[in-house]
Amino acid sequence: MSTAVERRFPVGAELVAGAVNFRVWAPRRKQVEVVLEESLSVPLLNEGDGYFSGVVQSARPGMHYRFRLDCGEQLVPDPASRFQPEGPHGPSQIVDPFLYGWKDDAWTGVQLDGQIIYEMHIATFSHDGTWTAACGLLPELAEIGITLVEIMPVAEFSGNFGWGYDGTALFAPRICTEHRTIFARSWTAPTHLAWPSCSTSFTNTFGSGRKLPQRIF
C-alpha cells in the first residue's frame, strides 16, 4: 500500500494508476481501515489533521467498500461515496467517472431572465419515482410553458419515495432503483424544451443517516 499520490478531489475513492486511493476525514478516530467486499481489510495511513489515506492495488471499479473505525465491529459507508447501490446505509461502490461519455459539449447553458422554473422532486414526481419516468414527462411540462427544471434530490437518501431534503450521501446520485448513469443519459440529451439544473439541499441533510457523521467525525 502506498499513499504518495496525486488526487483530483480531497476525499473519497479515486482511481490512480491501475489502483484505487481511499481518503477520508475522520479527526476523532485513531485508526481507520478500508474493507473491500466485506473481506479484505487494509489499514489507512494517518496523515495528520484528521485525514487517513492509502492506495489499494487490488481495488477495482465496481467493488464495494466500507470503513472500519478504531477496530470496531461496525462497518460504515464513505461520506464522500460516488455511488450507494443499496442506499445510504449500505456499502459504497468504487466508480470510474470517466467511463461515461458526456454528449453535452455543444450546450452553452441558459440565461435566467425569462425562464419559468419548475422544482421537480424526482422521487415523488412520477408514479415510478425514477429518473427515466420523470424524463418521459418533460414534454408535458414544456407544453404548459416550463422552460427550466430544478431537479431535487440529486443526493442519495433513505426509502423509495421522498422529497429529498434528507440527503445523506451528498456526492452519490440518487439511485431511484436505476443505474447511476441513468441520470446522465436521461437528462443531458437535448431532446426536450425543458432544460434541467441540479440542486442539493445542504440545510436539511443526513435524514435517517444522521448517525453517519457521528460515526466518522
Q: Which cell numbers hold the place of 66?
A: 466500507
Q: Where are the domains of the chain?
A: 12-98, 100-217
Q: What is the pLDDT of residue 172?
A: 80
Most confident segment among 88-92, 189-193, 194-198? 88-92
Residue 165 confidence class, pLDDT cut points 50, 70, 90: low
Query: Using CA atoms, how far apart are residues 65 and 168, in angstroms rounded to an integer?
Result: 17
Query: Using CA atoms, how far apart are residues 95 and 170, in angstroms rounded to an integer?
Result: 15
Burial class of residue 190 (count of CB atoms within 10 Å of its CB; 0-12, 13-18, 19+)? exposed
CB 23 within 8 A of CB 9: no
Task: Name the residue with higher pLDDT: 130 or 30.
Answer: 30
Residue 158 confidence class, pLDDT cut points 50, 70, 90: confident
Q: What is the pLDDT of residue 5?
A: 76
Angle at 142 between CA 161 and CA 149, to 5 degrees: 50
Percent pLDDT > 70 in the chain is: 73
**Confidence check: pLDDT of 56 > 90:** yes
Q: What is the pLDDT of residue 193?
A: 46
Domain 12-98 top-level CATH class? mainly beta
**Confidence check: pLDDT of 86 > 60:** yes
Give 125's DSSP letter. Answer: H
DSSP for 6-21, please give it. --SSSSEEEEETTEEE
**Confidence check: pLDDT of 11 > 50:** yes
Burial class of residue 83 (count of CB atoms within 10 Å of its CB; 0-12, 13-18, 19+)? buried
- Strand pairing category for 148-152 and 195-198: parallel
Dump pLDDT digits (tens) for 12-21: 999 998 899 9
**Confidence check: pLDDT of 89 > 60:** yes
Q: Which cell numbers hold the place of 167?
A: 440527503
Bridge partners of residue 48, in order along the sequence: 51
Q: What is the CATH number of domain 100-217?
A: 3.30.750
Beta strand ranges found along 95-214 (DSSP E): 117-121, 148-152, 155-156, 169-173, 195-198
**Confidence check: pLDDT of 117 > 80:** yes
Residue range 70-77: mean pLDDT, rounded: 93
Residue range 77-95: mean pLDDT, rounded: 90
Residue 26 confidence class, pLDDT cut points 50, 70, 90: very high
Query: Using CA atoms, how far apart are residues 150 and 133, in angstroms rounded to an integer?
Result: 16
**Confidence check: pLDDT of 206 > 90:** no
What is the distance in angstroms between the CA of the first residue and the CA of the last residue of the chain? 24
How far, in whole angstroms, is CA 207 from its chain's centroid? Answer: 15
Q: What is the pLDDT of residue 126?
A: 85
Residue 1 confidence class, pLDDT cut points 50, 70, 90: very low
